[in-house]
Structure 1
Amino acid sequence: MKRLTLNINGVDRALIVDPQKKLSDVLRENLLLTGCKVCCDTGQCGTCTVLIDNKPIKACMVPVEKYTAGQKIVTIEGIGTADNLHPLQVAWMAHGGAQCGVCTPGFLMSAKALLDKNQSPTREEVRTWFNRNRNACRCTGYQPLVNAVMDAAAVLRGEKKKEDLLERAPQNGSIMGSRYHRPSAVAKVTGTWDFGADVTMHMPPDTLHLALVQAQVSHANIRGIDTSEAEKMPGVVKVVTWKDVKGRNAITGLITFPTNKGDGWDRPILNKDKVFQFGDAIAIVCADTVEHARAAADKVKVDLEVLPAYMDGWAAQDPEALEIHPGVPNAYYEQGVIKGEETAPLMAKADAVVEVETYCSRQPHLHIEPDCGCAYFDDQGVLTIQSKSIGLHLHHAMIAPGLGIAPDKLLLIQNPTGGTFGYKFSPTIEALLGVACMATERPVSLVYTQFQNITYTGKRSPADVKVKLGADKNGKLMAMETDWWLDHGPYSEFGDLVTSRQGQFTGAGYDIKNIRGHGRTICTNHAWGSAFRAFGSPQAFLASETAMDMLAEKLGMDPLDLRYLNIYREGATTPTGQKPDVLCLEQLLDMIRPKWEEAKKRKAAYAEPGKAYGIGLSIGMYGCGLDGPDSSEAAIELTPTGVTAYNAWQDHGQGSDLSTQTFVHETLRPLGLIPEQIKLVMNRTDLPNSGPAGGSRSNVFVGQAIRVSCEMLLNAMRKPDGSYRSYEEMVAEHIPLRYDGKWVAHDCTECDPVTGQGNPFPVYMYEVFLPEVVVDLETGKTTVVKFTTAVDVGTIINRATVDGQIYGGLAQGVGLALTEDFDDLQKHTNLLDCGLPYPRDIPDNMEILYLETPRSEGPYGAAGVGEAPLT
C-alpha cells in the first residue's frame, strides 16, 4: 500500500491504495466517482476517459502509481452539475446524445479536452479526435454527438446561448414530435445515472462476488467436476454446481410452435452432463472479493471428454454429425411458405430468372456495457434479481422453474441499462445470480469482463438463404422460391421464431403473388442465437434485395425502376398473405429518386485511380409485435402534484422514459400538466406487464396501453359540464385514483408452420436505403461516404429520439455489412477485433427523409422505429 494525494476536480484527496491499482478503480471504489465507467478494461471503448492536465486519458489503462504529484485529474463530476451544466452537457441533452448513456461521460470528457484547446473545430476534426481517442458509441451512429460538439463550441465562442439549445415544453402545449429531452438526460450527462456495475457498489458489506467456471471448448461430455481445491482458497464461501440448483436447472424457451422437435428445456443454468458451447457455465465461485473469486475459479478442475464441435450449419447438418442434444435432430424446426400458385410452371414461363445464395454473418451485439447484475432476498423473503433484462415478465417465466422458486417469491428489476440491441431478450445472467443467491443465502453480484460479455452472450443467428426470382419481360415479378437454414447455436429459445422471420421478410415489400419456400433451424456448437435489432430480417433482405439487383441487371432495368414497378399497391399482400397496414413505399421511392439520380451522377464522374464508386438501393420493412396475439399493460394514478405512470417498458437506450412521459402528457393535455408533473415508476415484475422491449413493439403496444389508462382517468375526472375534477374532488367523491389500461392486437394471428400464412403484426415500418461507397480495388477496403434513407414510421413521437434510432441503426448496418463478426473464438474476443465501428467508420453525411403516414393501430398514429434502419 502507498499513501498518495490526488488532485481530483480541484480538491486534494489523500488515499492509501495499492500503487498498481488502476486509476479507474481508485476513482470508482475509493472515491465513488462512478461517472467514470469501466466497460472494456483495455482502452477500446473510451467510457473511462478522464482528463489529466487537460489531456484525455483512459483511466482503465493507468496504474495510480503513474500519477505525478501536481497533476490535476478532472472527471465528469467536475465539469458541471445538474444546476450548472457545461455547454457540452446541455448540447448532449438537446441532440439526444445520451441514448443508453454509458458512453456519455467518456465522450464528454474527450470533447471537453478538444474544445479547451480548439473552440472552432471542423466536423471532421471532431470525428478524428473521437476516433483517435477510441471513443466508441453503439447507440447514436455518431452524427448527433458531432452535432452536439459543434453547438457547444458555438456557445463557448459566444455565438449561441446555452439556454437556447434545449427545446422547452410549451405552456399547455404538446411535446409530441418535438425534440424535448429525456427525463434521464441530466443524470446521464452528469455521470450520476447508476448502471448495473455502479449498482453493485451500493450492495451491503456481506455481498458475495461471483466468478464463473466456464468451458474452454465448444462440445464435450462432462465426466467430473472437482471443486475441492477451489473451496480452500482465500475468501471462498461456496462453489456452486448443478447439485446446488433446487429446480430443473434449465431455462425454458417457452416453445409455442407445435412442430418444434425439441421441448425448449435444452439450456442448462449450470451444465451437468455436457458442454454445448464455448463459455458454458459449469460452476460459480462465491467469495468475499472479485479477485478471490476469480483466483478460486481457476482452481476448479473439470474432466471433459471432448467431442466433435459443429461450428456452422453445414457441419451440423452432415449425415455423420452427432445429435448435439441426444434425441433431438440438429435440424429441429421447419418452416414452409405456400402462397398462390405452384411456382415451378411460372418459373418455366418467366422471361428472366435469377438465383442467389447469401450468407449473413453471426453479428455480435457489441453492447459496450458488459452484462451485470445482483441478487438478494428482500425483507419479505422475495428473491430479487436486478439485471439488464429487457423482458422482465418473460424472463420471470423462463427462469423460475429452473431455479425452483415459487413465482410469487421471485421479483425481477431492470437496472439502468447500457444498450442491449436485443441480446437481453434472452435471460443471460439472471439465473446464475438466482442460483448463487439461493445456494448461499447471501446477496451476490456479478459483472462480466468484456471477454465474457462477447463470448458468453447471444448473437445474431447466421443464415444461408437461397432465392430464385422470376419476372416477365417488363420486370413484373411472377414467382419466388426460397430455401434457407438458420444457425441458432445450441439453445433453441426463439430459434423457431427467427426462422419463421425468413418466410415473413424474404421478398417483403413486393407484390409477389406466388411463393414456395422452406427453411430449417439448425442446432450447432457456436454461440447461441438471441434476438438482435431487426430480428431475422437482415438475413432475409440480404438475399431478396440482392436478387432484385441481379434481376434488374438481367432485364437491363434501373434498380429503382424495377422496385417501383413491384412494390406494394392496392390489392398487394405480404409474403404471409397479410394486407399491408399502409401503402407508403411508392411515396418513399419518389422521395429517394432525386437522391438516386444525384448519386448516379457522382458515380459516373468518379475517376480516382485504383478505386471505384458504388451506389446501392434497397427497401426494408419490419413488423411491430411478437407475432400473433400480443398485448401490453400500463397504469396511471392521479396524485396531489400530478400523476404517476406505471409500466414495465424496459429501456435499453431507446428512450422509454421520454416516450412514456410524452404519451401521458399528450393524452392528459386537458388537465394542463407540464412534463415535470409526470412521475415515472417503471420496470419491475410487480408493475403492469408491458411485455418485452423488443420487436419495435413497445411504442405501439405500451403506447396504446398508456393512452387507454390515461383516457380512463380522464373519463373518471370529467364532470357533467365537461370540466375536470381536482385531486381533492376525486378523493372527496370516493372516485378511484388509479386506472389500469390494456391494449391487445386482436386481429393478429401466428403464421402457419406449413404455409407461412397469417397476420403476424398490427403495424409495420418501411424504409428505403441509399448508401454510397468508395472501394479500394486492390485491398477491397470499403468506405461509406454518404447514406440517404427515406423512412416511414408513422407519427413521430420525439424527433431527436427517432433521428437517433435511425442513425444508430444505419451504423449497425454498416458494421454488419463490412466489419462485424463473431466467428473465430481465438480472434473475435474484444470490441476492436469483432469489428465495432468507430466514428471514422461511419459516414457523417447521413440524411433522413421522413414520411409520416399515421397508423390506425398505432398510438396517435405511431409505429415503432428501432428495427427499421437495420432491415
Structure 2
Amino acid sequence: MALRKIWLNLNGADRMMVCDPEKDTLADVLRRVGLTGVKLGCKTGQCGVCSVILEGEVVRSCIKKIKDVPDFSKIVTIEGIGTPTNLHPLQQAWITYGGVQCGFCSPGFIVSAKGLLDQNPNPTREEVRHWFTVHRNACRCTGWKPLVDAVMEAAKVMRGEATMEDITFKAPPDGRIYGTNVPRPAALAKVTGLCDYGDDIKLKMPPGTLHLAIVQPGLNHAVIKGIDCSEAEKMPGVVKVITSKDIKGTNRIMLPVAHPRSKADGFERPIIADTKVFRYGDVVAVVAAETEERARAAAKKVKLDLEELPAYMSYLDAVAPGATEIHEGIPNEYLRMPLFKGEDTRDVLAESDYVVEGSFYSTSQPHLIMEPDVTQAYIDEDGNVCIHNKTLALLFPLITLAPGLGLPDGKIRVIENPTGASFGSSISPASSALAAACTLALDGAPVTLTMSYAEHNAFSGKRAAHYSNARMGCDKNGKITGFEFDFAYDHGAYTEMAAILASKAIRFAGFSYNIPNVRALARVGFSNQTFGTAYRSYGNSQAYTMSEAIVDMLAEKAGIDPFEFRYINLARPGDTNINSYPFKEYPFTTLMDRLRPLYEEAKARAEAQSTPEKKRGVGLAFGGYNVTGGPADHAEVALELNEDGTITHYNTWEDQGQGGDVGTLVLTHESLRELNLDYRQIKLVQNDTAQCPQTGPAGANRSHYMAGNATINAAKKLLNAMRKDDGTYRTHAEMVAEGIPTKYLGVFDTTDITVDLDPNTGVGDPTPVYNYAVFLAEVEVEVATGKTKVVAMKMIYDIGAIGSIQAVEGQAYGALTHSIGFALSEKYIDNNKYSSLVRCGFLYADDIPDDIYLESVPSPRKTAPFGSVGCCEGFQSAGHVAVINAINNAAGVRIYDLPATPDKVKAAMEAKAQGKELKPEKYFLGSDLFEALDDIAENPVESTGPDMAL
C-alpha cells in the first residue's frame, strides 16, 4: 500500500494527514480527522449529506477521491461555518424555520446553501430549489419548503436586511411555548454537525470493538445446503464468521400475529437464516473483523451452497392455484379479517342507480431515508446485552429477542442513537437481533455494524404492496348505498405486525363517509418480496388507494362533481363508521367547507392554464388515521424535581426526526405551567430502557397523545407533592427534608376507552381518537410523454390543538412529499436493481411543488392532552390519491396501479384516443369474496383479546 502525505486547509487552518490515494475519499479523510459533521449516507453521491465546499465549489465528498484533491486545497465543512456559540445565519435559520427534523442531512444542506449564497446572495426560491437539485442534496423529512424558507431568511441577514435577532425564536411574553414554534432541543447540535449519529458513534467506540459485515446471498428463495467460512476466517483481521449455528437460543424473532384467524404464529423469521432464504436481503452469515474494510473483504469469501427455489414475487403468484408454501406448514394466504355492516351488498348494489367497480394496486414503497442501518452492541456494566440503533420501538427488542438469543428476560437494554429518520422502517427488531447475536457469539466483545445503502435497502422492510377489488353504488341523488371490497396485503417474506396491517383496510376504506352497507375482507399473505413493515400511514395509504379512487369513479358515473359527491356523503353526527360505531368527532363538513373556495380557485386555474400539450387537473381525497395503538395501549413517563429547581423528564418517546424532543418539552412545560418555569429549565433524558420508563413505540400517531396524558398524570402527582397548604411550592431541599419523593411516574392506558374489533364481524371501536385531513392536488400532464408534475398541494386538517407548530408543519410537508413520490415514481422490487435512492424513484426539490398550503381547523378532543393529538400518519394517508384523481381530471385517464409513471399515463392516454380503457382484470386473491365471508360467518372464533388491534 503506497500512502500519501497531504496538506489541506480545513476551515481556515493548514493540517497535515496521511491517506491512501487509491482508496480514500475526501469524506473518509475529513471524518478521520474528526470532522464528523461530514455525514455518510448513500456513499454514491445521491444524497448530499457529505457536502463540503472545495475551493469555492460545493462537492459531494463521498465520491471525491483524495488523489484528485491538490495539496493545500481550501475546504470548508459545517464545523467551519459556525459553532454553537457563534452560529451562522443559515444555522440559526435552520433552527428557527423548521429546517431540522432528523437533522442527518442538515450539515450537508447548510454547507450547500452557503455555497449558493456565496455565489448568489439574493436567489429566488426557484433558484434555491434548483441548486439543491443539481447538487443532489436530498431530504426525506422536510418536504423542501422549510429548507427554502430558511435559506431565504438567512440570505436577508447576510445582505444586511435583517438581524440574527430577527430570525431567532422569542418566547411569548407570558412564557407559554405550547402552540408555538419553539425550536427542537436537539437542533443546535444538528446544525453545527456535532450530533453523533450511529456511524459517528462507531468512530468513538473503545479499542477492541469489532466491525461486522453481513453476507446476503442475493436470492429470493433458496434452500441453504451449506456455508463454507474457512477461506473467510483465514483473511487478515478476521476474528469469527457468525452463522445461525452460533446462536444459542431459538434463532427466531418472536413477534406474534395476535389474531385468532391467523394461520401463522409470527415465529417464522430467523435472526440469521438457517434452513432457507426467503427474500433477497436475508442475512446468512456475519463476519467480525478488526476493521470494516477487512470484514467486508472477508464477507466476499464466504461460500454458499444454495439450492434456488421458485420465487413468488407477488401475492398473486403466491396464492395462485398450485403454488407451494413459502413457509412450510403455513398457507401463503394466512390471515383473513371480515367486515359486515348493514345489508348484503349484493342485494343493495343490484338495486342501486349507479354502480362502479375496479381493481387497484399499489406497489411496495421504500422509505428512502438518508442514513442506512447502523447498530452497536456490547455487554454493559450490569451484564445486559446493550444495543444502540435507530429503533422507533425500544420495547420490541426487549419483548421479541430474548428466547431467540438464548437470554433470560430482562437482560437486554436498548438505546436509541440520534437517528437519521425512519418513517417506520426501524420498528423492526431485526438489526438489533443481528448485532446482539454477534456480541454474544464473540464472548461479549463490543461490535458495530454499518450497512451500505444497498445492504440496508435490501435488509429493511417496505410499505406492503396491495391488491384489491371493489364495488360501490349510490342512488340517483348521489348517496352511497353500499360498498364491498376484497383487499390483500402482500406482506412479503415475514409476518411482522400482519394483524395490525390487515385491520387498517377494514377500518379506513371509505373513512369519512356515511356508508350504510358494507361487505369486505382483508387478507394478508406471504411472497418472496421483502417483508412489509411500518411506514407512515401504515396500511391506510393502501386502503385509500382503493376507496378514494372508487369514490371519484362513482361521482363521475353519477355525473356529480367529485367535491359535491364527497360532501353529500360525509358523515354527520349520528352516522357510524364502517365498523358500526359513531365517529369520535365529526369535522368532515367543516374541513370541506374550508377547502371549497380553494377547490373552486384550483379548478378555474386548471381550466385557464390547460393547453393541448400540457393538461392541467385537480384532484381530491379524504384521509385520516387512528391515534394510539388500540386497546390496552399503555404509556409511562417520569418527572423529577432537581436540586437546582429544574425538572427532568424521563421517557422512551423515540425521536426519529418527528419531534419526540420538542413534543416532550412543550407537554412538560404546559403540564407544569403553574411553576412558571422557563422552558430551558426542563431537561430531557430519553430513549434508554435502563434509565427511562416504557412510553411505547413512536407509531400510530400515539406518542403525543399517550406520552402527553402520562405527562399530565406525572405532573399532577409532582405538583400535589410540591404544593404547600398556603398554595406555594416546596423546593427540592424542602421535599428532601420532609421525606417527600421528588420523582413521580405518570401512567396512561386506553383499556377503558376502547372496544376491540370483533374477529367475526369487524365491529368495534379500537382507538380513542383520530386525526382527519382532506387533500387537494393540482397537476400538469405532458401529453407527449405522460410525465406528471404536481404543481400545488393543499391540505386542510384537524388534529385538535397544535403543540409544536414547527413539528406539525414539518410532518405535513414531508408527508405530502412522500405522497407525491408514492403516486408518481417510488417503488421497490426485491432485487439488485433497487439498491439506491435514484433507482427507487426518489424525487428531488425540483420535482416537488413550492406551492404547498396547510391549514389547521381544530375540533375539540375530549381525552387528548391539551386538546392535541398526533398528526404524521394522517398527513400521509391519502394525498397520493388526490394526485391520481387529478391525473384523471386532467387527462381523462385513471391509473389503477401505482406509481403513475409516464409510460403508464401515456399508454392510458393512447388507449383512450382509440376508444379503449386500460384497467386491470379483477384480481384472484385466493378465493371468492363471498365464499370467504360465508365461511367466516359459519365458523366464528373467540377474540384473543386487546393485543390483536395493537
TM exceeding 0.5: yes
More deviation, 165-174/55-64: 165-174
Give the stretch that moved more between structures: 699-708 or 820-829. Answer: 820-829
Offset of 1:577 from its aligned partner?
A: 2.1
Mapping 1:119-518, distance limit 5 Å = 119-170=121-172, 173-441=175-443, 442-518=445-521
Q: Which residue in 1 is equivalent to 2:720?
A: 715
| TM-score, normalised with respect to structure 2 | 0.91
Residues 1:796 and 2:802 aligned together:
yes
Deviation at 1:602, TM superposition (A): 1.2
Which amino acid in structure 1 is aligned with residue 533 of structure 2?
S
* Residues in 2 aligned to 1:711 and 1:684: alpha-carbon distance in whole angstroms: 24
What residue identity is the alignment partner of 2:703? S
In structure 1, C-alpha distance between the alignment counterparts of 2:653 and 2:824, rounded to whole Å: 33
* SS of the residue 2:402 aligns to: helix
Inter-partner Cα distance in structure 2 for 1:352 and 1:452: 50
Map of 1:53-72 to 2, 5 A cutoff? 53-72=55-74
Contact preservation (8 Å) 2:255, 2:400? yes
Whole-angstrom CA distance in 2 between matches of 1:577 and 1:25: 59
Structure 1 vs Structure 2 CA RMSD: 1.0
User: 3-state DSSP class of the match of 2:557?
Assistant: helix
Q: What's the CA shift string for 1:364-384, capped at 9, x where partnerless?
A: 000110011100112222211
Task: Report what 1:546 is aligned to.
Answer: 549
The equivalent residue for 1:861 is 867
> What is the SS of the residue equivalent to 2:560?
coil
Residues 394-437 of structure 1: CA deviation (Å, up to 9, x unaligned): 22111121111122221111000011000111113101100110
> Using the alignment, how far apart are the partners of 1:33 and 1:826 within structure 2?
32
Superposed counterparts of 1:801-812, under 5 Å: 801-812=807-818
Q: Which residue of 2 aligns with 1:48?
A: 50
Q: Does residue 734 of structure 2 align to residue 729 of structure 1? A: yes
TM-score where L is the length of structure 1: 0.99
Matches of 2:602 and 2:171, distance apart in 1: 39
1:703 and 2:705 matched:
no
Give CA-to-partner distance per residue, 1:561-592, whole Å, 9 cap, x none: 11111112111122222321211111110010
Q: Which residue is 2:654 aligned to?
A: 650
Deviation string 1:325-383 (CA, Å, 9 cap, x unpaired) is 01100000001001122222111111111112110110000011001110011222221
SS at match of 1:513: coil
Task: State the AA in 2 paired with 1:869.
Answer: F
Aligned pair count reads 870
What pairs with 1:825-836 in structure 2 (closer than 5 Å)?
A: 825-836=831-842
Q: Hey, what does 2:932 align to over in structure 1?
A: none
In 2, Cα distance between the equivalents of 1:303 and 1:756?
47
2-side partners of 1:468 and 1:218: how far apart? 35
CA distance in 2, matches of 1:643, 1:859: 19
**Structure 1 residue 824: deviation in Å?**
5.9
Secondary structure (helix, strand or coil) at the match of 2:148 reads helix
Distance, in Å, in 2 between the alignment partners of 1:567 and 1:607 is 31
CA distance in 2, matches of 1:500, 1:645: 34
Partners of 2:832 and 2:249 in 1: how far apart?
35
Specify the code of the residue in structure 2 equivalent to 1:604. E
Question: Which digits, 9 at most, give the CA deviation of each residue in 1:208-245, with x for residues without a partner?
Answer: 00011112110011111111111111111001111110
Counterpart among 785, 794, 797 of residue 791 in structure 2: 785
CA deviation map 1:822-869 (0-9, x unaligned): 026242111011011110111000001211213112110011111111
Q: What is the identity, as a one-letter code, of the residue corresponding to 1:585?
A: F
Q: Distance in 1 between matches of 2:264 and 2:842?
A: 35
Cα distance, 1:599 vs. partner? 0.9
Equivalent-residue separation in structure 2 for 1:717 and 1:579 (angstroms): 42
2:104 matched to 1:98?
no
Determine the C-alpha separation between the residues in 2 that align with 1:526 and 1:291: 30
| Paired position in structure 1 for 2:27 | 24
Displacement, 1:164?
1.9
Amino acid at match of 2:766: P
Is the 8 Å Cα contact of residues 629 and 750 (structure 1) preserved in structure 2?
no
Q: Matches of 2:468 and 2:625 in 1, distance apart? A: 18
Structure 1, unaligned stretches of length 5 or more? none
Equivalent residue letter for 1:517: A
Give the alignment partner of residue 670 of structure 1, picking from 659, 670, 674.
674
Q: What residue identity is the alignment partner of 1:105?
A: P
Report the secondary structure of 2:744's partner residue: strand
Q: Alpha-carbon deviation of 1:16?
A: 1.4
Looking at structure 2, the residues matched to 172 and 248 of structure 1 have their Cα atoms a distance apart, in angstroms, of 58
Of 41-50 and 339-348, deviating more is 339-348
Instruction: Name the CA distance, whole Å, in 2 between partners of 1:230 and 1:71.
Output: 40
Partner residue of 1:763?
769
Instruction: Determine the C-alpha separation between the residues in 1 that align with 2:558 and 2:337.
Output: 32
Deviation (angstroms), 1:171: 5.4
**Stretch of structure 1 that moved more, 147-156 or 294-303:** 294-303
Contact (CA 8 Å) 2:636, 2:710: kept in 1 or not?
A: yes
Aligned partners of 2:69, 2:673: CA distance in 1, in Å? 55
Q: Distance in 2 between matches of 1:449 and 1:327?
A: 35
Structure 1 distance, partners of 2:679, 2:606, is 49
- Counterpart of 1:828, as a letter, is Y
Tell me if the contact between 2:14 and 2:72 (Cα under 8 Å) persists in the aligned partners. Answer: no
Moved more, 87-96 or 847-856: 847-856
The separation in 2 between residues aligned to 1:850 and 1:796, in whole angstroms, is 8
Deviant stretches of 4+, over 4 Å:
none
Q: Which ranges in structure 2 are unaligned for 5 or more consecutive residues?
A: 878-950
Question: d(CA) in 1 for partners of 2:162 and 2:518?
Answer: 58
**Local SS of the residue matching 2:872:** coil
**What is the DSSP-based 3-state SS (H/G/I as helix, E as strand, rest coil) of the residue aligned with 1:305?**
strand
User: Per-residue deviation at 1:172?
Assistant: 5.0
Structure 1 letter corresponding to 2:658? Q
CA distance in 2, matches of 1:400, 1:386: 16
CA distance in 1, matches of 2:280, 2:758: 34
Q: Which amino acid aligns with 1:647?
A: N
Q: Tell me if structure 2 keeps the 8 A contact 1:854–1:860.
A: no
Paired residue for 2:934? none
- Letter of the 2:742 partner, please give it: L
Aligned partner letter, 1:276? F
Query: Residue by residue, what CA displacement relative to the aligned partner does 1:77-104 show, whole Å, maximum 9, x if unpaired?
Result: 0000101100000000001111000000
Contact 1:637 1:739 in 2 (8 A): yes
- Find the residue that maps to 1:251 and give its secondary structure: coil
Cα distance in 1 for partners of 2:625, 2:318 equals 30
Asked if the contact 1:9–1:78 (Cα under 8 Å) also holds between the matched residues in 2, the reply is: yes
Q: How big is each residue's C-alpha offset from its partner over 1:775-821, in whole Å with a ceiling of 9 and x where there is no partner? A: 01121100000111101111100111111110100000000000100
Matched, 1:592 2:595: yes
Residue 711 of structure 1, CA deviation? 1.5
Query: Which residue matches 1:814?
Result: 820
**Does structure 1 retain, via aligned residues, the 8 Å contact 2:253–2:430?**
no
Partner of 2:688: 684
Rounded Cα–Cα distance in structure 2 between residues aligned with 1:670 and 1:424: 38
Equivalent residues of 1:252, 1:493 under 8 A apart: no
Counterpart in 2 of 1:841? 847
For residues 693 and 632 of structure 2, what CA distance do their matches in structure 1 show? 18
Identity of aligned residues (%): 46
Residues of 1 paired with 2:309 and 2:560: CA distance?
Answer: 52
Equivalent of 1:625 in 617, 628, 636: 628
- C-alpha contact (below 8 Å) 1:576/1:756 kept by paired residues: yes
CA distance in 2, matches of 1:440, 1:106: 37
Which residue type is aligned with residue 273 of structure 1? T
**Distance (Å, rounded) in 2 between the aligned partners of 1:167 and 1:70:** 39
For residues 254-287 of structure 1, give each alpha carbon's deviation from its aligned partner in whole angstroms, at most 9, with x where no partner exists.
2221211011111101111111001211111100
Q: CA deviation at 1:322?
A: 1.1
SS at match of 2:781: strand
